[in-house]
């Protein structure tokens, strides 16, 4: 399965994380930016998801594709690095500004890069 085939705009993405103390969090997240073979990136604020991956690099991302039915993908992820500047972060901020407004764009302070460990169908 090539997960990028299921990443069509208009669906719903959810990232799940757990902090170093085991506290779990889920949050709605946009489509990932595919940055290379086996790597995906998302913009992040200083919220719980960001705090959790700093203490525990493991995460999961679920994307339910648009169009009805149960098409989509589940990704098992491991954090590779977090950056607080760069071209990709500016691209993410610009896209966030268009879809969610200035406040959300300004709150996006980081871009987190994840290794895709495993991909599975939604169901």
User: What pLDDT was estimated at residue 4?
Assistant: 65
The pLDDT confidence band at residue 52, using thresholds 50, 70 and 90, is very high
Instruction: State yes or no: pLDDT of 101 exceeds 60.
Output: yes
Q: Could you tell me if residue 113 is inside a domain?
A: no
Quote the pTM value: 0.91
Domain extent at residue 5 = 1-82
Average pLDDT value for the chain:
92
User: What pLDDT was estimated at residue 1?
Assistant: 44
DSSP state letters, the chain: --GGGG--TTSEEEEEEE-TT--EEEEE--PPEEEETTEEEEEE-SSHHHHHHHH--EEEEEEE-SSSSS-EEEEEEEEEEEESSSHHHHHHHHHHHHHH-HHHHHH--EEEEEEEEEEEE--
Query: Number of folded domains in the chain?
Result: 1
The CATH number of the domain where 45 resides is what?
A: 2.30.110.10
**What integer is the mean pLDDT of 64-72?**
88
């Amino acid at each position: 399965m090539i997960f990028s085939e299921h990443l069509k705009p208009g669906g719903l993405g959810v990232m799940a994380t757990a902090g170093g103390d085991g506290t779990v969090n889920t949050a709605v997240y946009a489509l990932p930016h595919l940055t290379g073979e086996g790597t995906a990136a998302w913009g992040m604020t200083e919220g719980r998801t960001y705090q959790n991956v700093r203490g525990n690099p493991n995460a999961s991302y679920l994307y339910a594709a648009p169009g009805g039915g149960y098409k989509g993908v589940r990704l098992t992820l491991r954090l590779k690095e977090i950056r607080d500047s760069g071209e990709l972060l500016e691209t993410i901020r610009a896209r966030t500004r268009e879809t969610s407004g200035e406040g959300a764009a300004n709150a996006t302070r980081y871009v987190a890069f994840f290794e895709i460990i495993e991909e599975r169908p939604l169901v």
